[in-house]
Amino acid sequence: MSKAINKVAYRPVGLLLGMSAGLLAGAVFKQVWKMTAGDGEAPTPTDEDRGWGEILAAAALQGAIFAVVRAAVDRGGAVGVRRLTGSWPD
């Protein structure tokens, strides 16, 4: 398969994987926050009752989890495409 066709064919797969990664990362973050903070809901930036430290810690944790889950899902998708097509998606 040519690189151009491979790239176009992988695009919808990549979009679906990206959306799935976002949902999975959100679920993982909620569980991690619940275990670490003992609080059911993570603070939002506009939560008046929470301090700067808690809000920034939650944002950093959420960003780290999202990045790791997204990288794992993207890498897994690329490996799967390579197994199916024999070429690495660009």
Domain that holds residue 42: 3-85
**pLDDT one-digit tens code per residue, 5-44:** 666 777 888 888 889 999 999 999 999 999 988 877 889 9
Residues 73 and 24 sit within 8 Å (Cβ to Cβ) = yes
Residue 36 lies in a domain: yes
Residue 44 lies in a domain: yes
Neighbours of 21 (CB within 10 A): 21
User: How many distinct structural domains can be found in the chain?
Assistant: 1
Residue 51 lies in a domain: yes
Percent of the chain with pLDDT over 90: 52
pTM score of the predicted model: 0.80
Residue 90 lies in a domain: no
Q: What is the pLDDT of residue 10?
A: 77
Residue 29 lies in a domain: yes
Handedness of CA 39, 42, 45, 47 (dihedral sign): negative
Angle among Cα 5, 66, 77 to the nearest 5 degrees reads 30
Residue 28 lies in a domain: yes
